[in-house]
Structures are given as structure tokens and as C-alpha cells.
Amino acid sequence: MSWLEIWLRRFTDGEAPYERELLTAILETLGEYAFETHRRRAEATRRLFQQLCEQARAAEFNAILPTVREQRQDERLLVEVHLNDLRDMVWHLLNALAAMTQEEAQEDALIHQQVRQLSQQADTLDIRALRQTLQSITQVIEKRERRQRETLQQLQGQVHHLMRELEQARRESTTDPLTHLYNRRAFESCLQHTVAVNRLFQYPATLLLVDIDHFKQVNDTYGHAAGDEALRATAERLVRVCKRRSDFVARYGGEEFAVILRETALRDAQKIAQQIIDLVRREPVVIPDGEPLRITVSIGLAELQPHETPEQWFQRADELLYQAKQSGRDRMAA
């Protein structure tokens, strides 16, 4: 019996609970941060990997490896296609510029030759010869300008197409596919920028870390589909309350959200946090083909202090969130 067979038998017999939980966590992570591919959208991939998690917990391993391999192959193909498109665009631009430069060099040589001939014939030059030479030079210049306009128009269309694709890729790289909020990467960038602005202009800023209470129990009792609905509903309520242009709302990870309230002192941020708590408590989550699900959230608030680093600011908010949960949940700690 091979080591893999022994390992899988331990999984099946329930002798490797840690390894099974590790496998489940790996599958959840792969699903949460999966690329959108030609085969399926990112949210569909996330649901698929949630199904693999359930299979792993039930010791059903046959579909796991083929599915993971297929997804990784699709993601590799996606990256290669985009990289090839970018390479083709760059080479096309370089070739167009090289061709334009070569043609202009040939035309410049012709103009120089004609001007040199005019100089050599200066003593015997007649008006007709001068007019013909000037017409020839004018035609060369007009041809060059026309060719440059056509080349630039062609390149402009290709660049605009590439920019749209890059902008779409940028949005996808900073957006959580389930809630459509900003993701952790975008949040960490905004955190850094907020601290930098605070050091320059001393604008107040308050960080809120929001956590859905007993979220694991929601998943275990009602299933991951209900958990997804709870995440989407919480995101929607956060956006409804934090609706100023300066408010930044992100899904930090799992059932945890982060809100950066720029130009907002702690006292005002506490009012906003209470609105979030009340709204989430008041409005149940609508579950398809199920009873409305009531959830609550806990929030930790920390106003940015002078000379505080982004890491220190986040750590204080995280400790306050833990304090709110330890104090009974469905409340804030500031």
C-alpha cells in the first residue's frame, strides 16, 4: 500500500482530523481567491470549491484533485493569454514605430538629396526647377503626416482596447467577487494612503473592523449558501450606512469587513457604527427557500493616532473587535 493510500485511508477513517481541516482550509482559500476563467466566473468557482470542502469533510476525495488541477490549468491559460496579448501589443507598437522611423529616414534622405542638388545648381537655377523641388518636398511631408495620423489612429484603438482590459483586470484584482466590495489587497493599500495623508494634513480618520457574530454556526446550521447570503447582506448594509464618497468599505477576509472613515473623528464614527449594528440586527437576511435569518455584528473602532503606523492602527482596531465579541457581541468597542 502506497503512502497516499495510507494517508487517504486515515482521512476516511477519521484518524487525521488536523490534516482534513488543513485540506478544507486550503480548498476554501483556493476558491476564495480563484481567477475568473473562460470556463466559469469567480463566484461559480468559489461555490464549486465550497462543494469540494464538503466532500473533504465527508471523506469523498475522488473529485478534489481533478477539479483543482483543472482550475489551475484554466488560470494558467488565462494568464498566458493576457500576457501574450500584452506582448503582441508591445511588439506591434515597436514594429509600427520602427517602420515609421525607417520610412521617415528614407524620405529625409530624399529631401536632403534634392536640397543638395538645389544648392549645387544655385547659379543656374530657374523658377520651374525650384517649384518642382518644393512640390516634391511638400508631397513627402504631406504623405508623412497622413501616414502618421493613420498609424496613430490604429495604435490609439489598440491602446484603448488594452487599457479597458487592464482596467477590468485592475478592478477584478481589488474587488471581492462575492460581495463586490473592495478586497483585502485594496484595503491594505487604502490603509497606507490614509496614514500618509493624515501625517501630511492631520485629517482625522477612524477604522472599523466589523465581524459577523457566530458565522461558523450559520454555515454549519444552514449551509454555505446561507453563509454567502449573510455576507452579501452585511456588505449591502455597510454600503447603505457608509455612503459618503470618502468612506471605504472592504471585505477583509472570511466574515470580517473593514471600513475606513476618512475625515471622521471617533465620536462621529461611533454613531455610524451604531447605525450599522442596528441595521444589521433589524433587517434579517433573506434566504432562498428558507426562513429569514437574523444575524448581528460586532465592531471594533480605533481613531488614527499621531505617528501611528498602519499596522499599529489595525492592531488596535482588531483588539477592540475582540473586546466587543468577548463582551457579548452585537455591540461596539471603541
Active site residue 167: no
What fold is seen in the domain 184-333?
A: Alpha-Beta Plaits (3.30.70)
Q: What is the SS3 assignment for 273?
A: helix
pTM for this prediction: 0.60
CA distances from 110 to 134, 140, 161 (A): 12, 9, 37
Per-residue pLDDT at 32 exceeds 80? no
What's the pLDDT score for residue 123?
60
* Residue-wise pLDDT tens digits, 97-134: 666 667 766 777 777 776 666 666 656 656 676 677 77
The neighbouring-strand residues paired with 329 are: none
Among 151-155, 271-275, 284-288, name the most confident range.
Answer: 271-275
Of 70, 255, 263, 283, which residue is the catalytic one?
A: 255
Higher pLDDT, 207 or 253: 207
- Mean pLDDT rounded to a whole number for the chain: 82
Structural domain boundaries of the chain?
3-62, 85-174, 184-333
Q: What stretches of the chain show up as alpha helix (H) in DSSP?
A: 3-12, 17-32, 42-57, 64-120, 127-174, 184-201, 215-222, 224-241, 266-282, 310-326
Whether 169 and 79 have beta carbons less than 8 Å apart is answered as no
Whether 144 and 104 have beta carbons less than 8 Å apart is answered as yes
Higher pLDDT, 56 or 121: 56
Per-residue pLDDT at 308 exceeds 70? yes
